[in-house]
Amino acid sequence: MSMLRQAVSIFLLATLAACGDGGKPEQKPAAAVKQDTRPYLLANDFTNATWKNGVHQKDGKTNVFYYLHRDPGAPALKAGDILDFARTGKATVQNVVPAPANKDGVVSVFVTVDKGLDPAGDGFPNKIYIGQ
Q: What is the pLDDT of residues 44-95, one digit of tens each?
A: 999 999 999 999 998 888 999 999 988 766 667 999 999 999 999 999 999 9
Asked whether residue 119 is assigned to any structural domain, the reply reads yes
- Is 34 inside any structural domain? no
Which of 1-15, 20-34, 47-61 shows the lowest mean pLDDT across its residues? Answer: 1-15
Q: Is the pLDDT at 6 greater than 60, yes or no?
A: no
Domain count, the chain: 1
Residue-level pLDDT at 113: 98
Q: Is there a contact between 98 and 45 (Cβ–Cβ < 8 Å)?
A: no
Q: b or e along 84-122 (b: 16 or more beta carbons within 10 Å of the residue's beta carbon)?
A: bbeebeebebeeeeeeeeeeeeebbbebbbebebbbeeb
Mean model confidence pLDDT for the chain: 83
Q: Give the pLDDT of residue 20.
A: 54
Locate all alpha helices (DSSP H) within 1-132, ordered by sequence. 3-19, 119-122
Residue-level pLDDT at 70: 86
Q: Residue 111: which domain range?
A: 40-130
Confirm whether 77 is domain-assigned: yes
> Does residue 86 lie in a domain region?
yes
Which element (helix H / strand E) includes 126? Answer: none
Report whether pLDDT(21) > 90: no
Residue 53 inside a domain? The answer is yes
Q: Tell me which of 39 and 27 has the higher pLDDT.
A: 39
Residue 26 lies in a domain: no
Long-range contacts of 1-6 (CB under 8 A, 24+ apart): none
Share of the chain above pLDDT 90, in %: 60
Residues contacting 127, CB < 8 A, separation 6+: 40, 41, 42, 86
Instruction: State which H helix or E strand residue 71 sits in.
Output: none
